[in-house]
Structure 1
């Protein structure tokens, strides 16, 4: 008699967490497309932007290992999710008061540290709120709502910039919106799925396939450098007022495509398998990155940004669903934390390598490096043995 209400509660969890992500990502994406332009105005070069894009994104990912394991030990995930969102909101709000790229680096690291605390426990709740055969769609729904917030945030950033607001005023509004995003988290319910007698999660509860897959995902992350380089690349095609407006519009296009295809891509991975879908996604990113290295017209640039959004729609949710498939319920937070930590470490190296290539060789060298890493990851994933899924 309780199956239907329980099923509705689980479905509601996914949508509530999606709404939290929608509002939080709207806040983030008000900042994201103008952040590289703000950094450039503070005198940051390619290497500094690479440092911020890599270290500030990657270092907090190491926190995800601890937060995922901790949520398994506590058998409670929601408190860590709430703490992570609150820390991120504070970091965004304080960006409005920064006056140097070094301060931006510290605050961006703080903001992303909040993401490090919340991501693995939140994704574990999503995985536990969906059956395995519908897990790809569940993550797709969450990513779609998240990226819908990104669309809204990008549009708001564009409109605020057109109205003549300066960088710091825009950052202040974004920070306040991030605190509003905490409200839908209140009714989210824990969904315990621990077998009787399980007292402590461990590595033995993870599939042997998880390690090689995390290695391949990390190789892809090494080539999947910060979006800021794509924004900077697009800025080379425009002058005057369009030097800010056009990259913002292209970023909106990226997020629109991401939003539109997230749920279909998640459902596709449920039907045909995560491995096949991810192999295609990695290969598509290699093509996109190669295109950014050679692009010479605005029409091709528009097409590349649309394909860039499609890559994220294919890869983002499918990777998380695949990792969740390879972990027992009592160690799912730990497994997601291991994945995030490895990929985050790769992101640190990615940002520094991409920034160095950009500054000391050329922008083309940065994108060719990304294409090579992504293509290698696609080939390795296709050659990997099909895993035995745990739950």
Structure 2
């Protein structure tokens, strides 16, 4: 008998994510100036942070299949979180540029190691709570940490604490997160039992167990398409500052407001997904199409509204998109699917940032029209996913 109800498992895992987002989002908010203070050029900062993000997504193509092959979901989850929890405080202690660069990348490697295994563990409990609602509650709690971390670091720096103190303090939520995670593993050593108890196994005799289902690839195509037409906050914030709509000091406040929209949208679409299935994701292309229409104007309030739409779209991406993967792929291949899905998402996000940035330089109206066309194509692919959701 499992030691926690499915909802308590989801909330406990959400607490772990809240605490760890406190840690690594706090660190990421000052990575640029910290590296610059150690002598890094803008090019070095760009290469290091870019390499970190590439590692966070690309290495999941390895860690996902590894989790499925070894079935060491807890070990990979704990190991990945431990790497992040150790890297951040050490980053505040080092005075050597190359060591700091290695620690920045190591923190992102930790995310790559844990993410497919973590999402698989969470997917088992959400089979009972509802995929959409379970992943949405997890994402909402995650975003609380993403708000607290940068604000805490900013307050400590403003008080004159320096980078060492600001990042050293982040060791506290890191240790707390690992303690909760170890307690959770002791209480629920086999979360797959939630799913097997909730419903009988589906008949997959017509599928090749060595391959991911065709429905997953159709869905991955939808995801890649919608992300290829999604503007990044980097382009949005560039526009805000270059057009003198907000001061640079207010950009983090705008980002924080977008993160609130992120959490609310995750909860709303998660609830809707459990009732309407993948049709709930119609909101994602519509939100993505609305972002450039509002965010790239020359008036403050439309830009603010466009930023909130951007945050809401990110909330859907971070919660409900992950929930659908769990419904499309059977448990034995789910970690692999999450790894592949992250790779698709990473490549598409890179393409979307490059596309929207290049179009912004050429013509904002062209950007708006192109994004609308791309999101229209995404809606067509989403329609193909509707008929492929497992019963």
| Normalised TM-score (structure 1) | 0.80
The answer to whether residue 252 in structure 2 is matched with residue 248 in structure 1 is yes
Q: 1:329 aligns with which of 328, 331, 335?
A: 331
Q: 1:207 aligns with which of 207, 213, 220?
A: 213
Between 315-324 and 47-56, report the one with greater CA deviation.
47-56
The corresponding residue for 1:297 is 299
Hey, what's the Cα distance between the residues in 1 that align with 2:150 and 2:362? 28
The corresponding residue for 1:79 is 75
Hey, what's the Cα distance between the residues in 1 that align with 2:67 and 2:99? 31
The corresponding residue for 2:290 is 287
Secondary structure of the structure 1 residue equivalent to 2:170: helix
CA contact (8 A) 1:30 1:156 kept: yes
Hey, what's the Cα distance between the residues in 2 that align with 1:210 and 1:170? 42
The answer to whether residue 384 in structure 2 is matched with residue 378 in structure 1 is no
**After the TM superposition, which residues 16-165 of structure 1 pair with which residues of structure 2 at under 5 Å, given as runs?**
16-35=12-31, 45=42, 51=47, 54-96=50-92, 106-131=102-127, 134-165=130-161
Q: Specify which structure has the bigger relative contact order, considering alpha-carbon pairs within 8 angstroms and separated by 6 or more residues.
A: 1
CA contact (8 A) 2:230 2:356 kept: no
1:94-116 residue CA offsets vs partner (Å, 9 max, x unmatched): 43357798776543332111111
Between 16-25 and 186-195, report the one with greater CA deviation.
186-195
How big is the shift at 1:340? Answer: 1.4
1:21-50 residue CA offsets vs partner (Å, 9 max, x unmatched): 0011112222344445656776755x7666
How many residue pairs are counted as aligned between the two chains? 377
Between 364-373 and 134-143, report the one with greater CA deviation.
364-373
The answer to whether residue 273 in structure 2 is matched with residue 269 in structure 1 is yes
Hey, what's the Cα distance between the residues in 1 that align with 2:169 and 2:85? 11
Gap change, CA 1:278 and 1:166, over 3 Å in 2: farther
| Normalised TM-score (structure 2) | 0.80
The answer to whether residue 191 in structure 2 is matched with residue 185 in structure 1 is no
Hey, what's the Cα distance between the residues in 2 that align with 1:349 and 1:102? 29
Secondary structure of the structure 2 residue equivalent to 1:130: helix
Hey, what's the Cα distance between the residues in 2 that align with 1:366 and 1:49? 31
Between 155-164 and 81-90, report the one with greater CA deviation.
155-164
Gaps of 5+ in 2: none
How big is the shift at 1:287? Answer: 1.7
The corresponding residue for 1:311 is 313
Between 376-385 and 365-374, report the one with greater CA deviation.
365-374
Gap change, CA 1:106 and 1:322, over 3 Å in 2: same
The corresponding residue for 1:345 is 347
Hey, what's the Cα distance between the residues in 1 that align with 2:121 and 2:277? 22
Gap change, CA 1:183 and 1:232, over 3 Å in 2: farther
Hey, what's the Cα distance between the residues in 1 that align with 2:241 and 2:58? 32
Q: CA RMSD in A?
A: 3.8
Hey, what's the Cα distance between the residues in 1 that align with 2:35 and 2:370? 23
Hey, what's the Cα distance between the residues in 1 that align with 2:120 and 2:224? 20
CA contact (8 A) 2:153 2:167 kept: no
Hey, what's the Cα distance between the residues in 2 that align with 1:215 and 1:103? 39
